[in-house]
Amino acid sequence: MKKLFGNFPLKDYVFITFGAAMMAIGIGVFLIDAKVVPGGVTGVSMAVHYLSGGKIPVGLMIWLIKIPIYFWGIKELGKRFGARTFYAFSLSSFFVDFFRGDVPGFSNVRLQDSAAVQTLLQHDFFFLIFIGGVLLGGGLGIIFKFRGTTGGTDVIAAILQKRYGIKTGVAMMSIDLIIVTFAGIVIEWKHLAPPDKPTLVLVFYALFLIFIAGRIVDIIIDGFDYARSAYIISDKKSKEIAEAIIHNLSRGATAIQTKGLYKNVERDMIFTVVTLKELGKLTELVNEIDPDAFMIINNVHEVLGSGFRRRR
């Protein structure tokens, strides 16, 4: 495949473009008019948008705030952000304003005025926020999956970790809480909350939104729980269990030499990975061969290799 911007595949840019459009729809079409702030640079930009009475476009504000963060990140953390980050946050910022009709020449777009969105805004607020969270998280997840970044508070969190040793998760959560609180103060001060939804309720919706978006990002990056790993310990029949896994399930198995400290006995522990559909059959096989075998089963988010997903 032809390359774009150095060694970055064109396919990745296509998916980053799709992810940027997806998250922009979530923000611009579903969240801004609902007054539910997702945190991060987007949250700050929405708060500024509300303070200006809607005169400052959210997408433009996102881009203006992220430019200095982008160069700060390059200075502190190196050039790993590069063209991918600039492309992702510039395009997502543009799409937010484009879908809202705030780009000159495209004022008739305004997807937020569509009958479906307005119906949800008036009669099914929870589902509106849920859809916004899924689109936001889905778009971010696609961008991250294809090695892009959005150059927002994740950069600030990484810098805080490097300079002061603050854990990235703690830093991002703290930043988001501060931004959501600030946006809540702006909404209350400007009397923007609808009569049936006090500002505190909107803040709770914002926290719910952050949770949903975060979970969707994790699912896209790590995948659904489509596989399970199993550790199987049998005192006398490890070999028979391994053969059954290989021949009956057509799965690989690895014998790990272990020593049980309780009985002071050396034995092989069998490790294998199976799909969810095969888990029941694996359990039955082990039970038939050795009812006293000890099994530990773990969730597996991604498996790369023969019999599972192909490596990129």
- The per-residue pLDDT for 84 is 81
Q: Is the pTM of this model over 0.85?
A: no
> Which CATH number fits the domain that encloses residue 245?
3.30.70.120
- The per-residue pLDDT for 85 is 84
Q: Of 174, 196, 222, which residue sits at a domain end?
A: 222
Same domain, 129 and 253: no
DSSP state of 7: T
- The per-residue pLDDT for 266 is 83
Q: What percent of the chain has pLDDT over 70?
A: 91
- The per-residue pLDDT for 5 is 44
Same domain, 232 and 214: no
The secondary element (H helix, E strand) that includes residue 258 is strand 254-260
Q: Is the pLDDT of residue 312 over 60?
A: no
Give the range among 172-181, 219-228, 264-273 with minimum mean pLDDT: 219-228
Determine the 3-state secondary structure of 190 from DSSP.
coil
Q: Is the pLDDT of residue 186 over 90?
A: yes
pLDDT digits 0-9 by tens, 42-67: 999 999 999 999 999 999 999 999 99
Q: Of 185, 207, 222, which residue sits at a domain end?
A: 222
**Residue 82 forms part of a structural domain:** yes
Q: Is the pLDDT of residue 99 over 80?
A: yes
Confidence of residue 261 (pLDDT cuts 50, 70, 90): confident
- The per-residue pLDDT for 2 is 42
- The per-residue pLDDT for 16 is 92
**Residue 312 forms part of a structural domain:** no
Could you tell me where the DSSP H helices lie in the chain?
10-25, 40-51, 58-77, 82-100, 115-123, 125-145, 153-164, 168-189, 199-222, 238-248, 276-289
What is the rounded average pLDDT of the residues 212-238?
82
Same domain, 117 and 200: yes
What is the domain extent for residue 232? 227-300
What is the rounded average pLDDT of the residues 82-103?
91
- The per-residue pLDDT for 198 is 92
- From the centroid of its chain, how far is CA 303? 18
